[in-house]
């Protein structure tokens, strides 16, 4: 009797264990499916270059780099206009880059014959820098345009590429 | 025509020499920009700024910045005496068309050009929930406008007020330090247009960059140093009243 009872008990516990394993396997299957789905969706939604340099899309750097330039840079200007560069180098405007007054001209540099730049608007251009203002550094040449010239255009007297206090004034 | 083994042995070195000659005539490949060899910052000299607004106009033209929004702007400060905590600041249209005559006749008056500080520990990057704003390996903080969801957290987070919400693109926008220019070996549009040299782009990893000599010999400060953002815009002659 005792042996039979032991047999029954062990048979019962084996069945319970088997049932548990089936249940667990089913759960594991569900988890595995979820994991696979997660990985599939993850690879579909996250851009390829994400994480190349950090927690962002690495391709964004290339896209921002690819933007065309508008200001050509003074080296480009000077390669075609060395005469103006020479005049400018002798005067007080030597450190000022061409496009500071003439505006962005990269497109003109790419196609110099068809895209010719307009002359700067002298009436507004010069006074932006040289009109009197208490906040400007002392020693910077400033004038009250009305008092100084009766609002005459600056380039009637001054040579914009090489304006000196004396030598730049047109005779 | 048949070539003997002897003829072939003579011809091969001759062909190789000719091919070398052909290769020598082709132009060199364009120097590629190496992200790990640069660390960008800027030097802003308040003692040289005349408030002409050239930088603001150049920035807008180079980067298509919409009217009324600014990636860089100029502020005019007035400090009358000991009221260093309460300066009078104005910036009409960001200083784009220069500044009208000041109503003040005395006190301390000066211009402060401002732009993104490209902080090393930038608060704006930390708060972005989607990884749309980031640090490039060469120290520039950029916005991936194709990835930005327009939540505006970064605009709130920037302690310098350097970001804005683009009115038509509906994404965050800010100074890129003219990333499309500096990676081509050019300077930024604002530095190119500055007539007095008040702004100078600086490559802090380049030992030949003149900024190193300048930083060693001048009293230079960054904005809001107590926030420990690791700002990389170095101001010469910065007054304590500037916020």
DSSP letters along A65-121, please?
HTSPPS---HHHHHHH-HHHHHHHHHSTTTTS-HHHHH---HHHHHSTTTSPPPPP-
Alpha-carbon distances of B44 from B98, B114, B197, B219, B229, rounded to whole Å: 18, 9, 9, 12, 18
A100 CB near a chain B CB, below 8 Å?
yes
Domain total in chain B:
1
Q: Which residue of B has its CA nearest to A47?
A: B147
Q: Where are the alpha helices (DSSP H) in chain B?
A: 5-25, 54-63, 123-127, 153-157, 179-182, 189-193, 211-217
Q: What is the pLDDT along chain B (243 residues), one digit of tens a residue?
A: 677 877 877 777 777 766 665 555 444 334 689 999 999 999 999 999 999 999 999 999 999 999 999 999 999 999 998 989 999 999 999 999 999 998 899 999 999 999 999 999 999 999 999 999 999 999 999 999 999 999 999 999 999 999 999 999 999 999 999 999 999 999 999 999 999 999 999 999 999 999 999 999 999 999 999 999 999 999 999 999 998
Q: What is the ipTM of this complex?
A: 0.82
Statement to judge: residues A91 and A120 lie in one domain: yes
A160 to chain B, minimum CA–CA distance in Å?
13
- Would you say residue B3 lies in a domain? no
The per-residue pLDDT for B135 is 97
Q: Which domain holds residue B101?
A: 37-236
Q: Which domain holds residue A24?
A: 2-65
A137 CB near a chain B CB, below 8 Å?
yes
CB atoms < 10 A from the CB of A67, how many? 16
| Spatial distance between the Cα atoms of A50 and B185, rounded to a whole number of angstroms | 26
Statement to judge: residues A59 and A96 lie in one domain: no
Residues of chain B contacting residue A94, judged by C-beta atoms under 8 Å apart: none
Residues of chain A contacting residue B181, judged by C-beta atoms under 8 Å apart: 69, 71
Statement to judge: residues A52 and A110 lie in one domain: no
Alpha-carbon distances of A120 from A87, A101, A153, B222, rounded to whole Å: 18, 7, 12, 36
CB atoms A69 and B97 under 8 Å:
no
- Domain of B182, CATH number, reads 3.30.70.20
Q: Which residue of B has its CA nearest to A141?
A: B50
- pLDDT tens digit string along A74-130? 999 999 999 999 999 988 999 999 999 999 999 999 999 988 898 999 888 999 999
Place of tokens 């109503």: B103
Q: What pTM value is reported for the model? A: 0.83
Cβ atoms of B143 and A67 closer than 8 Å: no
> Which H or E run includes A23?
helix A2-45
Of B39, B221, B243, the C-alpha closest to B159 is B243
- Would you say residue A162 lies in a domain? no
B132 CB near a chain A CB, below 8 Å?
yes
B12 to chain A, minimum CA–CA distance in Å?
43
Statement to judge: residues A85 and A24 lie in one domain: no
- pLDDT tens digit string along B186-243? 999 999 999 999 999 999 999 999 999 999 999 999 999 999 999 999 999 999 999 8
- Would you say residue A142 lies in a domain? yes
Of B232, B132, B136, the C-alpha closest to B180 is B136
| Spatial distance between the Cα atoms of B182 and B119, rounded to a whole number of angstroms | 17
Show which of A65, A92, A113 is a domain's final residue.
A65
Statement to judge: residues A79 and A149 lie in one domain: yes
- Would you say residue A170 lies in a domain? no
Statement to judge: residues A80 and A137 lie in one domain: yes
Domain total in chain A:
2
Chain A with chain B: Cβ pairs closer than 8 A = 130
- Would you say residue A56 lies in a domain? yes
Statement to judge: residues A29 and A82 lie in one domain: no
Statement to judge: residues A59 and A81 lie in one domain: no
Nearest to A135 among B61, B76, B144 (CB): B76
Cβ atoms of B142 and B134 closer than 8 Å: yes
Residues of chain B contacting residue A101, judged by C-beta atoms under 8 Å apart: 195
- Would you say residue B15 lies in a domain? no
Statement to judge: residues A91 and A129 lie in one domain: yes
């Amino acid at each position: 009797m005792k042996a039979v009872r032991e047999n029954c008990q062990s048979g019962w516990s084996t069945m319970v264990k088997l049932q548990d394993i089936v249940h667990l396997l089913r759960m594991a299957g569900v988890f595995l499916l979820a994991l696979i789905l997660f990985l599939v969706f993850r690879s579909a939604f996250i851009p390829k270059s994400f994480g190349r340099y950090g927690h962002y899309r690495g391709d964004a750097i290339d896209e921002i780099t690819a933007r065309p330039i508008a200001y050509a840079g003074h080296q480009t200007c000077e390669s075609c206009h060395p005469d103006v560069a020479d005049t400018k180098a002798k005067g007080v405007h030597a450190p000022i880059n061409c496009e500071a007054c003439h505006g962005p001209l990269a497109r003109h540099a790419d196609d110099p014959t068809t895209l010719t730049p307009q002359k700067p608007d002298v009436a507004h251009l010069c006074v932006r820098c040289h009109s009197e203002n208490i906040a400007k550094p002392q020693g910077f040449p400033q004038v009250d345009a009305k008092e100084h010239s009766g609002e005459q255009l600056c380039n009637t007297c001054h040579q914009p590429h090489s304006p000196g206090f004396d030598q730049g004034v047109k005779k | 025509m048949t070539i003997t083994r002897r003829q072939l042995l003579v011809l091969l070195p001759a062909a190789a020499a000719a091919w070398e000659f052909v290769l020598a005539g082709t132009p060199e490949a364009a120097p590629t920009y190496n992200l790990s060899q640069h660390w960008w910052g800027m030097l802003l000299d308040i003692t040289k700024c005349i408030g002409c607004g050239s930088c603001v106009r150049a920035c807008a033209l180079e980067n298509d910045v919409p009217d009324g929004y600014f990636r860089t702007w100029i502020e005019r400060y007035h400090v009358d005496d000991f009221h260093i905590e309460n300066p009078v600041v104005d910036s009409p249209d960001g200083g784009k068309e220069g500044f009208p005559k000041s109503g003040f006749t005395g006190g301390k008056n000066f211009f402060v050009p401002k732009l993104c500080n490209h902080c090393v520990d930038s608060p704006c990057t930390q708060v972005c929930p989607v990884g749309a704003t980031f640090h490039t390996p060469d120290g520039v903080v950029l916005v991936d406008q194709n990835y930005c969801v327009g939540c505006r957290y970064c605009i709130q987070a920037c302690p310098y007020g350097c970001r804005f919400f683009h009115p038509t693109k509906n994404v965050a926008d800010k100074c890129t330090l003219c990333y499309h220019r500096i990676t081509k070996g050019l300077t930024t549009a604002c530095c190119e247009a500055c007539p007095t040299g008040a702004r100078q782009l600086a490559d802090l990893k380049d030992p030949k960059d003149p900024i190193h000599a300048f930083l060693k010999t001048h009293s230079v400060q960054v904005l809001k140093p107590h926030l420990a953002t690791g700002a990389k815009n170095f101001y010469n002659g910065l007054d304590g009243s500037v916020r």
